């Protein structure tokens, strides 16, 4: 009875997390011959799953209580936690980079490298605007989700957050299958980026924050060895499209901010040399798949496991 009660307290977002952490445990066991401390990874992910079951029982708390806030919002920081774990997996498995394939595809499609083309229109003001837009990436889904959370429309809030988490984890599978570091390392001199593509006031510190988030220590002579392999697909494109679409379909007032910023953000991914254009194409396809499958999965999970009425 206790187990069934725990199961009923889970939402689609919880199940997406649990499924993905079980997938990571499976990978650790499958490649235990390569990963010496595979059992540490497995134990860590089991603890994370236990945490999810634990906080899921806080479902009936007052909407603005601390417990309720943790229960509903824990999924957002877990996106970053899992992002880092994927980084360690790629390094531990010593997976090869596929940038050369992505570069070749871009060249076949466009005849020359798109980042070289966009370099011709570069300007410090444009770079500043686009770097700021690029840096808003993790805030866009939070802005959209909070719009419904503050209204007490918890069912819509959960759908938004779960869809975003689901989309992120799909992109992480892409990182595992096609590790790549992006054109700022392969087609350009990463150490010379601030000289070749300067901004005004915020560009440099924002780049530092992004580089730190991608595990690149400042001033190292070989930054490409530390960089997160997260170019394909473009998660920035995929999840920004998801957020833009949901903001329009759900008629959130935040769409007037999210859509124009999202357009700038997607353009910035190539202009700022984070991505190849084929990454954006893949990101678009991943976004379509996310939006096509998330509603069905959400409805199935909420109907069969839960009792949701939007007020709980």
Q: Is the pTM of this model over 0.85?
A: yes
Domain presence at residue 312: no
Write down the pLDDT at residue 64. 67
**How far apart (Å, rounded) are the C-alpha atoms in residues 193 and 204?**
10
Rounded Cα distance, 164 and 192, in Å: 34
* Tens of pLDDT, residues 222-279: 999 999 999 999 999 999 999 999 999 999 999 999 999 999 999 999 999 999 999 9
In a domain, 310, yes or no: no
32 within some domain: yes
Environment class of 217 (CB within 10 Å of its CB; exposed 0-12, middle 13-18, buried 19+): exposed
Q: Which residues touch 270 (CB under 8 Å, ≥6 apart)?
A: 114, 115, 118, 276, 277, 280
Q: What is the pLDDT of residue 306?
A: 44
Question: Is 311 a domain residue?
Answer: no
* Token reading at 289: 């798949």
Q: Work out how many domains the chain is built from and give that number.
A: 1
For the record, the structure tokens of 262 come out as 């999202």
37-42 long-range contacts, CB within 8 A, separation 24+: 41/85, 41/88
The pLDDT assigned to 36 comes to 86
Q: What is the DSSP string of 103-155?
A: HHHHHHHHSS-HHHHHHTT--HHHHHHHHHHHHTTTHHHHHHHHHHHTTT-HH
Low-confidence stretches of the chain (pLDDT beneath 70): 1-7, 59-64, 303-312
Q: Which residue has the tokens 């309720």?
A: 68
> What's the confidence (pLDDT) of residue 303?
63
pLDDT (0 to 100) of residue 75: 94
182, 278 Cβ separation under 8 angstroms: no
Tell me which residue range forms the domain holding 109: 2-304
Q: Say which DSSP state 13 is in.
A: H
């Amino acid at each position: 009875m206790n187990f069934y009660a725990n199961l009923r307290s889970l939402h689609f977002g919880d199940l997406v997390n649990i499924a993905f952490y079980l997938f990571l445990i499976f990978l650790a066991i499958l490649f235990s011959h390569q990963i010496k401390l595979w059992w540490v990874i497995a134990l860590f992910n089991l603890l994370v799953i236990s945490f999810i079951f634990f906080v899921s029982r806080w479902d009936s708390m007052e909407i603005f209580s601390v417990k309720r806030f943790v229960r509903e919002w824990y999924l957002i920081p877990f996106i970053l936690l899992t992002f880092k774990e994927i980084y360690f997996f790629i390094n531990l498995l010593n997976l090869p980079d596929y940038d050369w394939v992505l570069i070749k595809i871009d060249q076949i499609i466009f005849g020359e490298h798109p980042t070289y083309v966009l370099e011709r229109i570069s300007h410090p003001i444009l770079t500043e605007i686009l770097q700021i837009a690029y840096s808003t990436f993790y805030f866009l889904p939070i802005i959209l989700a909070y719009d419904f959370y503050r209204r007490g429309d918890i069912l819509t809030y959960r759908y938004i957050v779960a869809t975003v988490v689901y989309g992120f984890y799909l992109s992480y599978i892409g990182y595992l299958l096609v590790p790549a570091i992006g054109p700022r390392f392969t087609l350009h001199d990463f150490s010379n980026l601030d000289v070749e593509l300067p901004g005004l006031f915020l560009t440099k510190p924002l780049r530092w924050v992004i580089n730190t988030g991608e595990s690149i220590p400042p001033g190292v002579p070989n930054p490409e060895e530390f960089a997160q392999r997260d170019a394909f697909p473009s998660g920035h494109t995929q999840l920004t499209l998801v957020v833009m679409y949901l903001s329009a379909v759900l008629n959130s007032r935040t769409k007037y901010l999210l859509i124009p910023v999202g357009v700038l953000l997607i353009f910035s991914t190539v202009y700022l040399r984070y991505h190849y254009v084929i990454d954006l194409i893949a990101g678009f396809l991943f976004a379509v798949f996310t939006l096509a499958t998330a509603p069905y999965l959400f409805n199935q999970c909420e109907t069969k496991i839960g009792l949701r009425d939007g007020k709980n």
